[in-house]
């Protein structure tokens, strides 16, 4: 897609002093992401920072998942994910539903449609969170899937 769509996002919502919920919801969907460009000389540093951010985000989400599952023993699957995402972004169910829909569109619909997993949710929140915090810089240049898989158990 072209960068005009992305530049049209209200930049006041993407400042670091705004709540994470507002930054994530203001972001365009994954389909509107700018193309990856030549990474330059800082590829290794950029990739390390991205993996470090993703690992930290996933550890936080995993801890939040365990705490939420303990408080809401009856919640399973999407209901539990909704509670975790709402707590993560300090938002409501509507904001959590939007982020879960985006995670599903990004990871659970292609190449074949399947059920959304917590790994998908964590992967989406790590990538979009990094992008929201580093607005105007390079797009994510490393494959953080391995980082997500190392932190988030498959059975969640």
pLDDT in tens, 90-131: 877 888 999 999 999 888 887 788 899 999 999 999 988 888
Residue carrying the six token digits 């030549």: 38
Are 82 and 101 in contact, with CB atoms under 8 Å apart? no
Task: Copy the structure tokens of residue 108.
Answer: 């659970």
pLDDT digits (tens), the chain, 156 positions: 333 333 333 444 444 556 665 666 555 555 455 555 555 556 777 778 888 999 999 999 999 999 999 999 898 999 999 999 999 988 778 889 999 999 998 888 877 888 999 999 999 999 888 888 877 566 666 788 999 999 999 888
Q: Determine phi and psi for 123, rounding to 5 degrees.
A: -60, -45
Contacts by residues 144-151 (CB-CB < 8 Å, ≥ 24 positions apart): 144/50, 144/51, 144/54, 147/51, 147/54, 147/55, 147/58, 148/54, 148/58, 148/119, 148/122, 148/123, 149/119, 150/55, 151/55, 151/58, 151/59, 151/62, 151/122
pLDDT at 4: 32
User: 55 is written with which tokens?
Assistant: 């690992």
């Amino acid at each position: 897609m072209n960068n005009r769509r992305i530049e049209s996002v209200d930049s006041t919502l993407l400042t670091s002093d705004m709540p994470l919920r507002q930054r994530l919801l203001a972001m365009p969907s994954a389909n509107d992401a700018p193309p990856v460009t030549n990474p330059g000389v800082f590829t290794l540093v950029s990739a390390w920072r991205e993996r470090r951010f993703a690992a930290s985000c996933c550890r936080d989400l995993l801890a939040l998942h365990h705490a939420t599952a303990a408080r809401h023993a009856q919640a399973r699957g999407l209901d539990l994910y909704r509670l975790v995402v709402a707590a993560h972004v300090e938002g409501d169910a509507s904001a959590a539903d939007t982020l879960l829909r985006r995670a599903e569109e990004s990871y659970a619909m292609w190449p074949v449609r399947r059920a959304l997993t917590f790994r998908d949710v964590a992967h989406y929140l790590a990538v979009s969170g990094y992008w929201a915090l580093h607005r105007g810089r390079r797009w994510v240049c490393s494959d953080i899937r391995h980082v997500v898989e190392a932190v988030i158990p498959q059975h969640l």
